[in-house]
Amino acid sequence: SQLAMASAQDESKGFIEDSKLNVKTRMLYFSRDFRNVPNGAQSRVEETGLGFLGTFESGFTQGTVGFGVDAIGMLGIKLDSGKGRAGTGLFPQGSDGRSQDDYSEGGGAVKMRISNTVLKFGDQFTALPVLATDDSRLLPEVAEGGLITSNEIDGLTLHAGHFTALNAQAQTYHDSLNLTEANVFGGTYAINDNLSTSVYYSHIEDHFRKWYGNINWALPISDKQGLVFDFNIYDTKSIGNNLTGAFVSKADGSNELDNIAASLSAAYNIGAHTFTLAYQKVSGDGDYAYGVDGGGTIFLANSVARSDFNAEDEKSWQARYDLNFAEYGVPGLTFMTRYVRGTGATTRTTDDGKEWER
């Protein structure tokens, strides 16, 4: 049987001694052309911004129960935009359609720790497969609520959380994504160094409930070669007032979500090179839905930069190549290229939609 891990709280050095302050900057240029748009419609978006993200994490006070605080400060500055080019999601927009010159947000959280279990309440970033804040634009989303993270057993991580607000990436007003209540729980267990599994559940009030499962298996071939298989699956059903319904209504007029979205990827690593193939499928009623539960809540292989390939009935495959230049004496430099194609999507206008991304 697995033995309990050494207590992290017993090793606490103190509130100040273990504290960390980080400031990150990010410059982001975003450009997108819209092809085949109707006459008079916006044909492109193009903006540049500079973002600052500051995070403070205190240590925990010493003793059986440790206490601490965390703080977040964010600032986004517009460097280039225009009325006809706004809408990238980098900045809040005014009633005239123009992006704001700057925007900022701050928040904090209190935390306590007993042994290897931490309770954190307040503003925080989350990375759970059923509640993941998005960091794909200038500044990240921020969730408000409480989260328990427990690592009492070696190899086992458990989570339980209750959240009542979620701020979008380019909005500063409270709960801009209109999250009423989200309850989440689950965990990840590392069976050994090469095999792990996860199960999570979420209940998003008046939207949907989700089950998520994952199996990740790394198969070493030699010191320089290996295979990694990754399987992900979501089971989603509408609940309550069904505020996030299917885009395409059924014959009886209902638009409830009731679907399964799954993906399987296989990656072959040899030295600096990684070759990946992936397949993804959505079956049932409605698209795989997410957003009110975090813009990052899609742990599927074919969720890429522009499209998630998550439409109702859609099947997609991906071919990808990665190169890590650390093997050639340039640590931190990587290269990636990929091609993804989706077919069979059901939308408002067709039952055989196709899309691709490279």
96-127 confidence digits (pLDDT tens):
888 899 999 999 999 999 999 999 999 999 99
Residues 6+ apart with CB under 8 A from 6: none
User: If pLDDT is split at 50, 70 and 90, which confidence band does 249 have?
Assistant: low
pLDDT at 262 over 50: yes
pLDDT at 303 over 50: yes
Quick: pLDDT tens for 57-87. Answer: 999 999 999 999 999 999 999 999 887 888 8
pTM exceeds 0.85: yes
**Which domains are assigned to the chain?**
7-105 (no CATH), 125-357 (2.40.160.10)
Amino acid at 16: I
The answer to whether 276 touches 315, Cβ cutoff 8 Å, is: no
For residue 139, what pLDDT is reported?
A: 93
> Residue 197: beta bridge partners?
189, 215
Tell me the HSE value of 183 on the side-chain side, using a 13 A CA sphere. Answer: 4
Strand, coil or helix: 9: helix
User: If pLDDT is split at 50, 70 and 90, which confidence band does 178 have?
Assistant: confident
Average pLDDT over all residues of the chain: 92
The answer to whether 117 touches 151, Cβ cutoff 8 Å, is: yes
Distance CA 167, CA 142 (A): 5
Mean pLDDT to the nearest integer, 349-357: 90
The answer to whether 87 touches 73, Cβ cutoff 8 Å, is: no
For residue 275, what pLDDT is reported?
A: 99
For residue 75, count CB atoms less than 10 angstroms from its CB and return exposed for 0-12, middle for 13-18, buried for 19 or more. middle
Mean pLDDT to the nearest integer, 157-162: 98
Mean pLDDT to the nearest integer, 275-292: 96
Pairing of strands 102-114, 65-80: antiparallel
pLDDT at 2 over 80: no
Strand, coil or helix: 149: strand
For residue 81, what pLDDT is reported?
A: 87
> Residue 21: beta bridge partners?
56
Mean pLDDT to the nearest integer, 140-160: 97
Cα angle, residue 219 at apex, residues 218 and 225 outer, rounded to 5°: 105
User: If pLDDT is split at 50, 70 and 90, which confidence band does 171 have?
Assistant: confident
For residue 55, count CB atoms less than 10 angstroms from its CB and return exposed for 0-12, middle for 13-18, buried for 19 or more. middle
Distance of CA 311 to the CA centre of its chain: 18
The answer to whether 320 touches 278, Cβ cutoff 8 Å, is: yes
Dihedral angle sign, alpha carbons of residues 135, 140, 146, 152: positive
User: If pLDDT is split at 50, 70 and 90, which confidence band does 1 have?
Assistant: very low
> Residue 231: beta bridge partners?
215, 264
Range of lowest pLDDT (142-156, 225-239, 252-266, 310-324): 252-266
The answer to whether 298 touches 307, Cβ cutoff 8 Å, is: no
